[in-house]
Amino acid sequence: MTTLPPSDKALVPFVSVDHMMRLIHHIGVEEMMRGIAEYIEADFRRWENFDKTPRVASHSPVGVIELMPTSDGELYGFKYVNGHPKNTREGLQTVTAFGLLASVETGYPVLLSEMTMLTALRTAATSAMVAKYLAPEGAHTMAMIGNGAQSEFQTLAMKAICGLKTVRLYDIDPTATAKAARNLASQGIEVVSCNSPEEAIEGAQILTTCTADKQYATILTDNMVGSGVHINAIGGDCPGKTELAAAILHRSDIFVEYPPQTRIEGEIQQLAPDHPVIEMWQVIAGKVPGRTSDRQITLFDSVGFAIEDFSALRYVRDQLMTTGFYHALDLLADPDDPRDLFGMLQRAAPVVA
Amino acid sequence: MTTLPPSDKALVPFVSVDHMMRLIHHIGVEEMMRGIAEYIEADFRRWENFDKTPRVASHSPVGVIELMPTSDGELYGFKYVNGHPKNTREGLQTVTAFGLLASVETGYPVLLSEMTMLTALRTAATSAMVAKYLAPEGAHTMAMIGNGAQSEFQTLAMKAICGLKTVRLYDIDPTATAKAARNLASQGIEVVSCNSPEEAIEGAQILTTCTADKQYATILTDNMVGSGVHINAIGGDCPGKTELAAAILHRSDIFVEYPPQTRIEGEIQQLAPDHPVIEMWQVIAGKVPGRTSDRQITLFDSVGFAIEDFSALRYVRDQLMTTGFYHALDLLADPDDPRDLFGMLQRAAPVVA
């Protein structure tokens, strides 16, 4: 008997890197980040419905491998993600990721997807969705300090969602700035390459920091931050890695995703464990105010949370049937009789000629 | 510019259900379980080298979805597995699973594999590997109570690894027994179908229980278990699910995988939390004795542990290069310049004709 094709139940839609890039081009990168931001906003609004667990991390001297699970009671999702800063020296990505959605009702996976690209989009979409609530009215210029893999996505998400007109780029490595400027040249936004962080923040209402070194660094010093700005701090995202002078934190109202995680991983690891923070979901749900004055410094201490990945995977899943950018993966054994796994194996035996 | 094929670094070997079944037939099911048992035995022997975490479980009223991670410092592995007893009524598997191995050095995945089939093999391989240490000398007959998806694998692993000659089948559902008897008919082992658990245990030195209902059941009562036998209890594997009368536990020396997990999920959830148990890895490492007398009742209270999955994935990975039963999955974005994810995306833009 020859091997029968696997049944529908056994097949899991899989979005490869190639399919993800096709999907992004099909939808448009800005439109897709706008769509993902809407899903994230909707999921933040129903924050209390989610199972929230801190990441499950496996640390080694050179990096970390994490699983980030969550569930809303209907869907279960998790992301696999590594963080290996030394990888770039070997021509590898610091961060790679993939993710999965499953049905809570059956436990069967319903989507497996690359998430290196998708995480870049969801991180930028989250920043811009938050800036929509916290940035000062009419903000049009962003300083983008750190011009690595996330910088173009941050810029275009702020353009698509917050109406950003100008980005001022700075990186300690001028080739990174040149790379970002080149990539953003034809994207309908004014790009100014700067030679110092001080130059980058001139006239900017939004200050985004996104640098990569795993250390306590001071990318922004206290005297650089004037009143009324919104700080979007992306790069301080693991224990021992921060980007802002502590004095800035003391002058800011601090907004976070999930306090138990941010206190370990975010900028606020520099502060007392009971330093007041505002949960971003409460702002979005209308339970607490966001920005309350045009002199206030707002700080989004972003570390990335499992619900944002869940939202991004939900968004991708909802595009699959209309776009077809996936293929079916034979991931699950599905015998006709569930008690007869061995019979399924026997029937798949090669024919002896 | 057209899309370039993904680089080697971006490709993860993937073993589908179809490839797994081909691999099993290529190696032979008994030989493969013997090989997996050797890998499990080797990993139990170096138990102290492993990161051990309890499973990360997401419970719902109808089932559970779990992630089971572990690492030996060189490789990281995890299994995704669900448990939904009501699934069989809908023509779905109670348990489906897949797993992953990654390099601790880079965080990059090195193997993605179906694990529904593979879990069946590793569960049976573990039982037989343990029975090799604990079953009475010259054991030749096993009672197999519960004739579901695991029963044929248990039987053949005991044949391959412990020299089992006869299996005595019993299930509350006679069609399950008929299915198992049919599947085992030409496997070189004597098969006796029985009409009661009492009949099944006649003359058996190994008593294997593997039933599926999620409840406190009594598959074996105290008076059924004579001295000198080895009990291989597979089915008591989650909170609220046990198969043995507590009195049997009190007469037995109890061997477990990982006490913190077994006390929650195993037969010993019926006992006091400080009831003495023996860690199986210590027997295998020669630190404590296994069976010490031919009157002793030994009980392997098996719940399935992450290291067994890790061992099975290691085994599969080591067969890939010589057998070729995998295909390369485009799971990881791998830009030429790790800082230039956006440039990679732009270069993948479809050509406008």
DSSP one-letter code for A294: T
With H, G, I as helix, E, B as strand and everything else as coil, classify residue A306: helix
Asked if residue A329 and residue A284 are part of one domain, the reply reads no
Of A29, A67, A83, which is closest to B67 when you measure between CB atoms? A67
pLDDT for residue B67 = 94
Q: For residue A133, tell me if it sits in a domain.
A: yes
Residues A150, A181: one domain? yes
Whether pLDDT at A288 is above 50? yes
Q: Which residues of chain B have pLDDT under 50?
A: 1-5
Under an 8 A CB cutoff, do A10 and B24 touch? Answer: no
- Chain-centroid distance, C-alpha A3: 41
Asked if B338 lies within 8 A of A71 by C-beta distance, the reply is: no
| Set A72, A237, A301, A309: catalytic member | A237
Question: Mind telling me how many Å the CA of A178 is from chain B's nearest CA?
Answer: 11
Q: Which residues of B touch A151 (CB under 8 A)?
A: 342
Q: Are residues B234 and B274 in the same domain?
A: yes
pLDDT at A232 over 80: yes
B153 neighbourhood in chain A, CB within 8 Å: 341-342
Residues B36 and B152 in one domain: no
- The shortest CB-CB distance from A149 to any of B83, B331, B341 is to B341
Would you state the pLDDT for residue B139?
97
Best of B52, B87, B96 to disrupt the A interface (most A CBs within 10 Å) is B96
| Domain match, B294 and B173 both | yes
Indicate whether A58 pLDDT > 60. yes
Task: Number of A to B CB contacts under 8 A, please give it.
Answer: 259
Q: Is the Cβ pair A342, B82 closer than 8 Å?
A: no
CB contact (8 A) between residue B56 and residue A51: no
Which chain B residues are within 8 Å of A334, Cβ to Cβ?
Answer: 17, 92-93
Q: b vs e for A148-185, b when ≥16 Cβ sit within 10 Å of the residue's Cβ?
A: bbbbbbbbbbbbbbbebebbbbbbeeeebbebbbebbe
CB B76 to CB A88 under 8 A?
A: no
> Which among A71, A82, A107 is the nearest to B84, CB-wise?
A107
Based on C-alpha coordinates, what's the Rg of chain A? 22
Residues B204, B295 within the same domain: yes
Asked whether the beta carbons of residue A98 and residue B109 sit closer than 8 angstroms, the reply is: yes
Residues A298 and A264 in one domain: yes
Q: How confident is the model at residue A211 (pLDDT cuts 50, 70, 90)?
A: confident
Q: Give CA A123 to chain center in angstroms.
A: 3
| Residue B229 falls inside a structural domain | yes
Q: What is the pLDDT of residue A29?
A: 98
A257, burial (CB in 10 Å: exposed 0-12, middle 13-18, buried 19+): buried
Q: Give residue-wise pLDDT tens across range B177-219.
A: 999 999 999 999 999 999 999 999 999 999 999 986 656 677 8
Q: What is the pLDDT of residue B102?
A: 97
Contact B350 A22 (CB under 8 A): yes
Nearest chain B Cα to A71, which residue? B58
Structure tokens that stand for A268 in this block: 């606020």
- Under 8 Å between Cβ of B171 and B147: yes
A338 contact residues in B (CB cutoff 8 A): 87-88, 91-94, 149
The partner residues of A78 in beta bridges, in order of sequence, read: A69, A100
Range of the domain at B232: 135-304
Out of A29, A71, A339, closest to residue B176 by CB? A339
For β-strands A11-15 and A297-301, DSSP reports them as unpaired
Q: Any idea what the CATH number is for the domain that residue B229 is in?
A: 3.40.50.720
Q: Which of A254, A309, A267, A274 is nearest to A50 (CA)?
A: A309
Would you say residue A2 lies in a domain?
A: no
CB-nearest to A349 from B3, B25, B92 is: B25
| Chain centre to alpha carbon of residue B53 | 17
A252 located within any domain: yes
Question: B124 lies in a domain?
Answer: no
Specify whether A71 is located in the same domain as A85: yes
**Percent with pLDDT over 70 in chain A:** 95
Nearest to B349 among A25, A106, A151 (CB): A25
CB neighbours of B6 closer than 8 A, spacing ≥ 6? Answer: A17, A18, B330, B334
A294 is annotated as an active-site residue: no
Phi, psi of A51 (to 5 degrees): -70, 120
Going by pLDDT thresholds of 50, 70 and 90, the confidence category of residue A174 is very high
Q: To which residue do tokens 């080697």 refer?
A: B8
Nearest CA in chain A to B15: A331
User: How do residues B264-300 score in pLDDT, each as one tens digit?
Assistant: 888 999 999 999 999 999 999 999 999 999 999 999 9
Q: Which residues of B are catalytic?
A: 237
Would the CB atoms of B341 and A71 count as touching at under 8 Å? no
Nearest to A242 by CA among A161, A193, A299, A298: A299
Residue A294 has pLDDT above 70, yes or no: yes
Among the partner-chain residues A96, A109, A180, the one whose CB lies closest to the CB of B332 is A96
Quick check: is A348 in a domain?
no
Specify the range with the lowest mean pLDDT, choosing from A242-246, A277-281, A344-348. A242-246
pLDDT at A73 (0 to 100): 95
* Interface test mutation site (partner B, options A345, A347, A351, max chain B beta carbons within 10 A): A345
Is the confidence at residue A216, as pLDDT, over 70?
A: no
Task: Tell me B86's DSSP state.
Answer: G
User: Could you tell me if A78 and A160 lie in one domain?
Assistant: no
Binary contact (B339, A179; C-beta < 8 A): yes
**Is residue A70 domain-shared with residue A137, that is, in the same domain?**
no
* Cα-based angle A184, A187, A191 (whole degrees, multiple of 5): 50
Helices and strands, number each (H, E), in chain A:
11, 18
User: How many structural domains does chain B have?
Assistant: 2
Least confident of A81-90, A116-125, A137-146: A81-90
Structure tokens, B121: 């093999």
CB contact under 8 A, B107 and A339: no
Contact between A79 and A99 (Cβ < 8 Å) = yes
Which residues in chain B have their CB less than 8 angstroms from residue A116's CB? Answer: 332-333, 341
CATH number of the domain residue A81 falls in: 3.30.1780.10
User: Does residue A3 form part of some domain?
Assistant: no
Which residues of chain B have a CB within 8 Å of the CB of A73? Answer: 60
Look at B334 and A93 and tell me if their CB atoms are within 8 Å.
yes
Give which of A92, A81, A112 is closest to A19, Cα–Cα: A112
A94 and A169: one domain? no
All residues of chain B having their beta carbon less than 8 Å from the beta carbon of residue A8 are: none
- Shortest Cα distance from A82 to chain B (angstroms)? 5
Per CB-CB distance under 8 Å, the chain B contacts of A71 are: 58, 60, 65
More confident of the two residues A214 and A60: A60
Between CA A208 and CA A299 the distance in angstroms is 10
Contact call for A17 and B10, based on CB within 8 A = yes
ipTM for the whole complex? 0.90
In a domain, A143, yes or no: yes
Same domain assignment for residues B289 and B141: yes
Q: What is the pLDDT of residue B237?
A: 63
- Cβ separation B341–A116 shorter than 8 A: yes
- Check residue A338 and give its pLDDT: 81
